[in-house]
Structures are given as C-alpha cells and as structure tokens.
Amino acid sequence: MLAIFKREIRSYFLSPVAYVFIGAFFILAGMFFMTGNILSGYPNINGTLSTMQLVLTFITPILTMKLLADERKTRTDQLLLTSPVSLTGIVMGKFLAALFVFFVTVLISLIYVVILFIFGSPSVAELINNYLGFFLVGMSFIAISIFASSVTDSQIIAAIVGFASILSLWIIDWVGGAFSNRIISDIVGWLSIMKRSEDFANGILKPASILYYISFSAVFIFLTIRVIDKRRWSEG
C-alpha cells in the first residue's frame, strides 16, 4: 500500500492535477474569504468552508478521475492486480494519496485562520470543528469519486459520474424536505452527509457524526474494491 501511495503522490505532483485542484480551490476560497470574512468583518470561517463544500462538488472528481479509470484504459491495472500488493492495499493507497493532496490543501488554507486572528479573536473550538467537518466531507467526496473512477475507463465519464454522485448528496436534502411523512423525511435526513456537516459548522462536535463520515467513506472504498475484484475475475 505504501508503494502505491508514494507512486500516486509522485504522479500528482509531477502532473498538473494536484496544482489545478489546489489552484482552483484557493482562487475560489480566496474570493469567498474576502467577501465573507474580510469585507464583512465576520470572525468565523464556517461560512467560507460551507461554501467551499459546494466547490468540492466540482473539483474533487478532477482529483480522482484518473486514479483507476486511467489504469484500466492503459491496461496497467493488470500489472497492479498481479503485483504482491493486495486489492485493498491498491485502493487504499490511491485513496490516501488523493486524501493527502486534499489534506495539504486544507493545511495551506490555515493561512485564513492566521488572518482572522490578526484582525480579531475567533473561537478556537469552533475553528477546529469547522475544519474537522470540512475535512470529513472532503474525505467522503474523495471516496465517492474513487468509486466513480473504478466503474469506467474514461476519465471524463469518471469525473461526470463523480460529480453527479456528489451533487445527489445535496439534492437528497431537498428531496427529504418534500416528503410530508416525518419518518421518510427523517430517514432521508439521516442519509444526508451534508446535513451532518451543519453541526460542525455550528461548532457542535458529535462523535456519531465523525463515525458516520468514516463509515460512509469505508462503504465506498469497499464498493470500489468489489467492482475491481469482480472485473478481475470476469476478465480473467
């Protein structure tokens, strides 16, 4: 797994992918931070991070679209599948590499926090909750997008499927609100990862929500492994 992780990290930073992702993130985040915090004098970054969750809907599939789709298209996946590394190790190595790029992006964005402390006194606890929730949402988006990359050999299709899948997570909140039946509405709300992020944005830390995001990501990693395993046996 470590070898796959290192290989993908090297691939990210030797190609434009990581730089496009990070650049797009900070161009938009800078605009939202300027209007939502600096110009308005708002001392917390929760509004900026909440808006950036929507931006992640568009740019996360770009980060992951080639991880498995390109391997399948160039047939290099056969070399991976016959290597000593387990299928779980392969998928986890790629997932952690994408997550690392996202983590570096989030780490750099802490410059916004420094600016907030220069001009005011934001709540440290709220900032930690805001960033933790944002990171967990991003992790879930990456897991979904890697699954999308596993079902096709086209990077473009992988990006579109990833985008559509993540967008559905926003739509599910609206769908839940459309039901008059309280039970159905509650079930849909429970399934929504976006609704759970509201607690983090409001400075509320719930261990159950952290476990939910980790479990959500684990489910899509498991599904990715099953898709590749099924294809390996069908092509073999």
23-48: pLDDT as tens digits: 999 999 999 999 988 888 888 898 89
Q: In this prediction, what percent of the chain has a pLDDT beyond 70?
A: 86
Whether residue 116 has pLDDT greater than 70:
yes
Least reliable range by pLDDT among 63-77, 128-142, 185-199: 185-199
Long-range contacts of 224-233 (CB under 8 A, 24+ apart): 224/68, 224/91, 224/143, 224/146, 224/147, 224/150, 225/87, 225/88, 225/91, 227/147, 227/150, 227/151, 228/68, 228/77, 228/81, 228/87, 228/90, 228/91, 228/150, 229/87, 231/72, 232/81, 232/87
* Residue (of 148, 165, 167, 136) closest to 65 by Cα position: 148
pLDDT at 233 over 80: no
pLDDT at 140: 95
Two structure tokens written together for 156? 């473009």
* pTM for this predicted structure: 0.90
pLDDT of residue 39: 86
The pLDDT of residue 3 is: 85
The answer to whether the CB of 154 falls within 8 A of the CB of 65 is: no
Q: How far apart are the first and last CA of the chain?
A: 23
Query: How many Cα neighbours within 13 Å face the side chain of 169?
Result: 25
The secondary element (H helix, E strand) that includes residue 55 is helix 46-74
**pLDDT digits over 129-187, tens only?**
999 999 999 999 999 999 999 988 888 999 999 999 998 887 776 766 666 666 666 66
pLDDT value at 214 more than 70? yes
For residues 48-77, give the mean pLDDT: 85
Report yes or no: 87 and 229 within 8 Å, Cβ to Cβ.
yes
Flag whether pLDDT at 122 surpasses 90.
no
With beta carbons less than 8 A apart as the criterion, state whether 127 and 106 touch. no
Span of 23-27, 35-39, 63-67, 73-77 with lowest mean pLDDT? 73-77
How many structural domains compose the chain? 1
pLDDT at position 171, please? 79
Q: Which residue is listed with tokens 């479990």? A: 215
At 44 the pLDDT is 86
Domain span at residue 141? 2-235
